[in-house]
Amino acid sequence: MGRDQVLQLRATAEQRQLIDQAAAAEGTSRTEFMLRCCQERAREVLLDRTLFSLTPQQSEALLNDLQDPALAERDQASLERLLAAPRPWHAAP
């Protein structure tokens, strides 16, 4: 797949030098380095908003809520919407 989108940004001389040094250390171009780093960070941000962990106390409270019939019906609809949403990490590159 060819690249057909242009991204532009402004940086200080120090920022550009740092990026160039890191890209050179990895043996990649500035563009490749920046795209890879940005994609990695974008995935982290999206996953952080998708995955969560609970303490034992939070898990117990959630399970109690799920056993309440009134809450369970509302929660089931919310869970179905969540599970039906497209996963950001499955997006086409």
pLDDT, tens digit (0-9, with 9 covering 90-100), for 36-82: 999 999 988 888 777 778 899 989 988 888 788 777 777 778 888 88
pLDDT, tens digit (0-9, with 9 covering 90-100), for 23-42: 999 999 999 999 999 999 99
Q: What share of the chain is helix, strand, coil (3-state, %, to 5)?
A: 70, 0, 30
Taking the complete model, does pTM exceed 0.75, yes or no?
A: no
